[in-house]
Structure 1
Amino acid sequence: MARVLMATTPGEGHVNPLVSVARTLAERGHEVQWHAGAAFEGKVRGTGARYRPFRAAYDFSGMTRAEAFPHHAGATGLSGMTLGLKEIFLDPAPDQMADLLEILDDFPADVVVADETCFGAGLAAERAGLPLVWVATSVYILSSRDAAPMGLGLPPAGRPWGRVRNALLAWTADSLLMRGIRRHADVVRARAGLPRLPGRVLENIVKEPDLYLMGTVPSFEYPRSDLRPQTRFVGALAGRAAPPFTPPPWWDELSDGRPVVHVTQGTIADDADRLLAPTLAALADQPVLVVATTGGPGAVESGAVGSEVSGAGVAGRLPANVRLEPYIPHHQLLPKVQVMITNGGYGGVNAALSHGVPLVVAAATEEKHEVGARVAWSGAGLHLTGRLSEERLREAVRRVLQDGAYARRAASLREEFRRYDGPELAAAAIEELLAARSAGRTAIS
């Protein structure tokens, strides 16, 4: 059996996709140790892995982006994405690497498994000469002649004219738009004692992984004739084991005949003023039941008919058709939902599609506009760009509810997801990689 060292950026959206992978590897007899933020110690131990805490690395687990990086307030679009890349993911990487190399001194792992933005894991694997596995927590990030560079939110274009467009945009991204990130990657690698990597932006930070596990299905990712051969689509990575769930008192209302609209701001509370509050106002007089979640326990108290609430950007008396909760497990709620409104978190979007729920995505921060672009491209929902308004949100929900094409496309994606057992496929691919290396091959076939 193998020794597996896992590492994750200390955020819910980066940890959650790896939980089921860690549990499945442990169930299959592998020894797993996991370097994670303190807020996730219980979650890590629950998988059967040994918890290894952050020491040198900045641990912002349990904090919102506004709390961990207060100067990021208001940063959206491409500038917000590049600021996040630099300060949330690049700058901590050498300290993450130092932690992981220290762990490797007493735990000689056979493989490093990490989310793709835990760049410290890539640096540590390179320093230690270990194979690296990425478990995707967002869209495919490696370059392609058939797609525009990540960050622009553009649909794919694989024909000759489209490839010319993509090449010009790639040059622009490398030389102008994201030149600062490209140069900063060289600085980070130097701090880690590693030589400069030639290559495109986002590909000069760490070496490409030996295995790239995409937590989605092929039909939700742009087609590429040059998809890296080490890429595997494994489907949704939601865990099979779930904590007990006690339904709130209003749960039976989900079956009263009204369309159910679920609005979520994801696992952080930073988007409430931008998305959650205007959505509640936009749908207040509509013949729907709105189930809103605010980003986890403690963000806001539960609310039902006419409740006075405050916190997470929501204050005042709730509309009569709104039910507000800190958190509801998606596997419990989504089978009862007709439309989901989201800021574009990758895990939540794939969870919705795996249940056949069409979407309205209103992305603002990080790479979420890329997720929204794929929702629109796939036909499973709408992507609202630019300034949000109550009228735009209301019309988008009405359109998705009334035009059956969105529900049919989401249902088609649900059937595709059902053909994939994400945790088992991910574990099997990691075992295949290790078997190939044991046999003297450097890659899986």
Structure 2
Amino acid sequence: MRVLFTVSSWPTHYSAMVPLGWALQSAGHEVRVLCTPSQVRHVGEAGLSPVPVLDGMDVVLRLRLQYYQEAVDGLWPYPWLPPHPVTGEPLRDLGDFDADGHQADAAPDLAARAARSFDAAVEVSRAWRPDLVLHDPASLEGLLAARVCGVPGALCLWGPVSTHEAEHMRIVPTDHSGSFPRYGLGELSLDMIERVVDPCPASLDVPVPARRLPVRYVPYNGNAPVPAWLLEPPGRPRICVTWSTALSKVSGPDSYLLPEILRSLDGLGHEVIVTATAADVAALGVVPASVRVVEHAPLRALLPGCAAVVHHGGAGSAMTALWAGVPQLITTFAAEQAVTGERVAAADAGVHLPGHRADRAAIRAAARELVADDSYRKAAAGLREESMARPAPARLVRTLEELAAGSG
């Protein structure tokens, strides 16, 4: 069969879908991935075939606008203001950004870009005639294309945040372009999402009103090489620290907590490994002697030897830690990441610290507790067992084949 993926313009959003793409290809099916031109390299490096016809949203701008609106509505929990939605500079006052003026100036162009992207997805789908369409939560082009072409579709979650959350935590975009009505489908509704591929352990209680298609999470962290020293067992408890390269862009400079985290962990007697980009490394300056900094070490290779991991609540980090059975310290600066932190903590597999409460003492105490208290390790191991019991991507392929054939 032919399977069409549509993905957003944020690489980590569709990393969870890559192993399913591999499984489909290994079963002999044809796979194409509709993406923006900026994602061609990432999709190609994953061994999938990119079709760069989408004109995706500016994810950074969308998130900044979302955080600004949270602040206006009194839902922004942090003592500082979110960054200026357009410039990214710190706001001194909410009135420093003209939201109505920006909406009037930018809305027509954003709607036109979205309409072009929807049209491109429909055009390719009509020409290629897929039997099945899969898409991530931020890429509604797949939802539209499947409905217009009359083929089954499914949304693929990237982590513990679902399609049906509180409005300020919404990860599914709205259709400001009016493309769904334009194609005779009526206004976009979350009820149009009929199936959800869910990689999360059941104990996380991720709300999925649609038909749930469970799958085992298989980490894909890119194609970075595995350092040889990772093959040796650590001589003392190892803590991994991994941080988002884009967090400061969307949440402001106050969210760059990485230096404070490293100072907090210094002196605990643990080996601390930081995986970061070259830019992050440069911004760190001098690091404590107990810290080893590596660029782009794959988490799937690093985490199994760790006693704990510290991260910002990104789906890839959280899901890979769940897969590895490693307790998590999650320090968050956005609503979506906070949901992830709360769900991991509720399952007793980690500690969630909202960013404004993550001072040196709190980070240090949480890290010490995660390593010393075996209950976190046991809970994390339990979630790993749940994850391993879910159908492997190759097994889900059979379900998708039945779905495409009309018998599933």
Q: What is the TM-score of this pair, normalised by structure 2?
A: 0.79
Q: 1:383 to 1:246 in 2, by over 3 A?
A: closer
Query: Does structure 2 retain, via aligned residues, the 8 Å contact 1:265–1:343?
Result: yes
Contact 1:125 1:131 in 2 (8 A): yes
Structure 1 equivalent of residue 99 of structure 2:
none
Matched residue, 1:274:
256
Residue of structure 2 aligned with 1:395, choices 361, 365, 376: 365
Matched position secondary structure for 1:4: strand
1:149 maps to amino acid? A
- Name the structure 1 match of 2:92: none
For residues 139 and 328 of structure 1, the distance between their equivalents in structure 2, rounded to whole angstroms, comes to: 23
Aligned pair in 2 of structure 1 residues 43, 338: CA closer, same or farther (>3 Å)?
same
Following the alignment from structure 2 to structure 1, what is the Cα–Cα distance between the partners of residues 176 and 57?
22
Q: Which residue of 1 aligns with 2:198?
A: 214
Letter of the 2:143 partner, please give it.
Answer: G
SS in 1 for 2:178: helix
Q: 1:117 matched to which residue of 2?
A: 138
Q: Which residue matches 2:227? A: 247
In the TM superposition, residue 319 of structure 1 has moved relative to its aligned partner by 0.5
Report if aligned partners of 1:9, 1:115 keep a CA contact under 8 Å in 2: yes
Q: How many percent of aligned residue pairs carry the same amino acid?
A: 23
Counterpart pick for 1:290 among 272, 293, 305? 272
Query: In the TM superposition, what whole-angstrom CA distance separates every residue of 1:293-343 from its partner, at most 9, and x where no partner exists?
Result: 22x4x4345xxxxxxxx23xx2x2110011112211112111111111111
C-alpha separation in 1, matches of 2:264 and 2:202: 34
- Aligned-residue RMSD, C-alpha: 3.6
Counterpart for residue 343 of structure 1: 312
The partner residue of 2:242 within 264, 267, 278 is 264
Q: Take 2:116 and 2:199, find their aligned partners in 1: how far apart are those partners? A: 27
- State the Cα distance separating 1:136 from its structure 2 match: 0.5
Answering whether residue 343 of structure 2 is matched by residue 359 of structure 1, we say no
Matched with 1:58 is: 56
8 Å CA contact 1:7, 1:35 repeated in 2: yes
Superposed, which structure 2 residues align to 1:90-169 within 5 Å?
93-143=114-164, 149=166, 151=168
Q: 1:317 aligns with which of 286, 297, 300?
A: 286
Instruction: State the match for 1:307 in structure 2.
Output: none
Equivalent in the alignment of 2:35 = 36
Deviation at 1:211, TM superposition (A): 2.3
Tell me, in whole angstroms, the C-alpha distance in 2 between the residues paired with 1:76 and 1:393: 26
Please state whether the residue corresponding to 2:14 is helix, strand or coil.
helix
- Offset at 1:149? 3.4
CA distance in 1, matches of 2:196, 2:371: 35
Quote the Cα distance in structure 1 between the aligned partners of 2:382 and 2:239.
20
Among 375, 379, 383, the alignment partner of 1:405 is 375
Contact 1:76–1:366 (CA under 8 A) maintained in structure 2: no
Q: Is the 8 A contact 2:271 2:290 kept in 1?
A: yes
1:162 aligned partner: none
User: For residue 175 of structure 1, what is the aligned residue in structure 2?
Assistant: none
In the TM superposition, what is the alpha-carbon distance from 1:44 to its structure 2 partner? 2.8
Residue range with higher mean Cα deviation, 11-20 or 268-277? 268-277
2:271, 2:291 within 8 Å by CA — same for their partners in 1? yes
Q: Paired residues, what number? A: 372
SS of the residue corresponding to residue 299 of structure 1 reads helix
Question: What is the distance in 2 between the residues matched to 1:245 and 1:192?
Answer: 47
Change (3 A) 1:327 1:386: closer
- How many Å apart are 1:128 and its aligned residue? 2.6
- Of 227, 230, 233, the match for 2:211: 230
- Contact kept? 2:230, 2:302, Cα under 8 Å: no
Q: What are the Cα deviations for residues 89-113 of structure 1, in whole angstroms up to 9, with x where unaligned?
A: x966433212212212431112211
Would you tell me which structure has more helix in proportion to its own residues?
2
Partner Cα distance (2:197, 2:352) in 1: 25
For 1:150 and 1:232, locate their aligned partners in 2 and report how far apart those are by CA, in whole Å. Answer: 24
What is the Cα deviation at residue 432 of structure 1?
2.3
Q: Give secondary structure in 2 for the equivalent of 1:384.
A: strand
CA contact (8 A) 1:339 1:400 kept: yes
Task: State the AA in 2 paired with 1:129.
Answer: G
Distance in 2 (alpha carbons) for counterparts of 1:229 and 1:119 = 16
Mapped partners of 1:229, 1:74: distance in 2: 30
Return the offset for 1:124: 2.5
**Structure 1 residue 404: Cα displacement:** 1.6
- The residue aligned with 2:96 is none
The amino acid that maps onto 2:386 is E
Listed one character per residue, the Cα deviations across residues 258-278 of structure 1 (whole Å, up to 9, x for unaligned) are x21111113635378532121
Alignment CA distance shift 1:354-1:246 (3 Å): closer
TM-score norm. by structure 1 comes to 0.73
Cα distance change, pair 52–332 in 1 and its aligned pair in 2 (3 A): same
Contact 1:219 1:413 (8 Å CA) reproduced: yes
* SS class of match (1:212): strand
One-letter identity of the residue aligned with 2:269: P
Instruction: Give the superposition deviation at 1:284.
Output: 2.0
Aligned residue among 250, 269, 279 for 1:299? 279
| Structure 1 residue aligned with 2:349 | 380
Between the aligned partners of 2:210 and 2:52, the Cα distance in structure 1 is 34
Measured against aligned partners, the alpha-carbon deviations of 1:192-226 in whole angstroms (never above 9, x if no partner) come to 6156867xxxxx4455334211112212224x6xx
Shift of 1:235: 2.1
8 Å CA contact retained: 2:56, 2:114: no
> By how many angstroms is 1:231 displaced?
0.4
**What residue in structure 2 maps to residue 25 of structure 1?**
24
- How far off its partner does 1:357 sit? 0.3
User: Can you give the 5+ residue segments of structure 1 that lack an aligned partner in the other structure?
Assistant: 153-177, 199-203, 302-309
